[in-house]
A = this chain, B = another copy of it.
Amino acid sequence: MCDACIAAASSPPTTRDIEEGTLPLLKFDASGLITAVAVDDATGDVLMVAHMNEESLARTVETGEAWYWSRSRKALWRKGETSGQLQTVAEMRIDCDQDAVVIRVRVGGDGGCCHTGRRSCFYRRVEKTEDGFHLVRDGD
């Protein structure tokens, strides 16, 4: 944790500190995670929703590449390490209550993101039906 964070942590932060302040006062959940949304910097499309723990967040800031926490593998996850689909961070933003981040990224390799081979994980639209909804794949 940075010096400013340690100083801030010495007294309980107020809502104003969290919402208006310039110090990171991140609200990790019970599993030590915050939600991370990756957006394609070129198109603005949402590519994926994943999670970061304190270390992956720090590495993302430090290296300028997206690092997540893989909940299935219980491990730090340098996105694209094996696929080449590295995500270079153009901008990172945090929300009002400091429990979610949005990163705008430029994707390396073949430009993909999803493990199914698609550019984005959000390749299905929700369409209302008479008794609920179904999903429609892009291109179908």
CB distance from A109 to the nearest CB of B (A): 18
- Annotate A81-121 by CB proximity to B: 1 below 8 A, 0 otherwise: 00000000001111111001110000000000011101001
Q: Given A37-B49, A46-B39, A137-B20, are A92 and B125 also a contact pair (CB < 8 Å)?
A: yes
Near B by CB (< 8 A), chain A positions 47-73 give: 48-49, 58, 61-62
A132 contacts the other chain (CB 8 A): yes
A128 contacts the other chain (CB 8 A): yes
- The count of chain A contact residues (Cβ–Cβ below 8 Å) is 51
Give Cα A135–Cα B45 distance, bound, in whole angstroms. Answer: 24
Q: Are B61 and A135 in contact (CB under 8 A)?
A: no
Contact of A124 among B48, B49, B93, B116 (CB under 8 A): B93
Q: Are B122 and A62 in contact (CB under 8 A)?
A: no
Q: Are B95 and A5 in contact (CB under 8 A)?
A: no
Give Cα A93–Cα B19 distance, bound, in whole angstroms. Answer: 29
CB distance from A100 to the nearest CB of B (A): 4
CB distance from A49 to the nearest CB of B (A): 4
Chain A residues near B (Cβ < 8 Å): 1-5, 19-24, 35, 37, 39, 44-46, 48-49, 58, 61-62, 91-97, 100-102, 114-116, 118, 121-126, 128-129, 131-137
